[in-house]
Amino acid sequence: MEVPRRTEVTVYTAGDTENVRAVLRTGQRAEAPVTTRNFEAEAHRSQGWWALEVTGEDLPHPAYTQARRLDQAEDMVRDLLALHFSVGADEVGQIEVVPVLDGALAEVSQTRQAREQAENVRAEATMQTRRTAQHLKAQGLAQRDISTLLGLRSGADSLDRATFFSRARGRTR
């Protein structure tokens, strides 16, 4: 008796346009897309270390690891997933590290918000300085005079640097 052959079916998601295009162009099968899984690591301070409790899609139970510093937590979670659950690097989507700080959480949140607001104010001040410098330049003022008027350090040199850096980042004057 002959065993029926199984037909392989590959399901493509909306983000797999390259795989679909490859199949249509060549008529051959493209590599099957890999499904990514997201994980969360709740981080608690424990005797100078961060104790990490990892949960996520398809994990049969929470897993535990530790890191000396918070910036090492994501790598430690990836190692844990690879070693104990055979989750490949290409299968890991987003790892959200959530520090649990008890009483300090509100203070950390306020500080981060204040820093974000300060960065927004700094960015707006930089844009305003550039606009004003352009208007003054169009009126024929020298760069050294513009720098002095706007309170920039070292005369024309600082305006040249600001223009250079804005161009280097892909912005135009």
All domains of the chain, ordered by start, with CATH? 1-33 (no CATH), 37-100 (3.30.2390), 105-168 (no CATH)
Q: Identify whether the C-beta of residue 55 lies closer than 8 Å to the C-beta of residue 40.
A: yes
Predicted local confidence at residue 102, as pLDDT: 75
The CA distance from 52 to 76, in Å, is: 9
41-73: burial string, b at 16+ Cβ within 10 Å, e else: bbbeeeeeebbbebebeeeeeebebbbeeeeeb
Q: Which two tokens stand for residue 171?
A: 């912005």
Predicted local confidence at residue 15, as pLDDT: 52
Predicted local confidence at residue 167, as pLDDT: 47
Greatest alpha-carbon span in the chain? 94
**In which element (H, E) is residue 38 found?**
strand 37-46
Q: Which amino acid is at 116?
A: E
Predicted local confidence at residue 5, as pLDDT: 47
Q: Identify whether the C-beta of residue 2 lies closer than 8 Å to the C-beta of residue 20.
A: no
Parts of the chain with a pLDDT under 50 = 3-14, 155-157, 164-165, 167-168, 173
Predicted local confidence at residue 156, as pLDDT: 47
DSSP per-residue codes, 85-113: H---GGGEEEEEEEEE-GGGHHHHHHHHH
**For 112-138, how does the pLDDT look when each residue is reduced to its tens digit (9 = 90+)?**
899 999 999 999 999 999 999 999 999
Q: Which amino acid is at 113?
A: Q
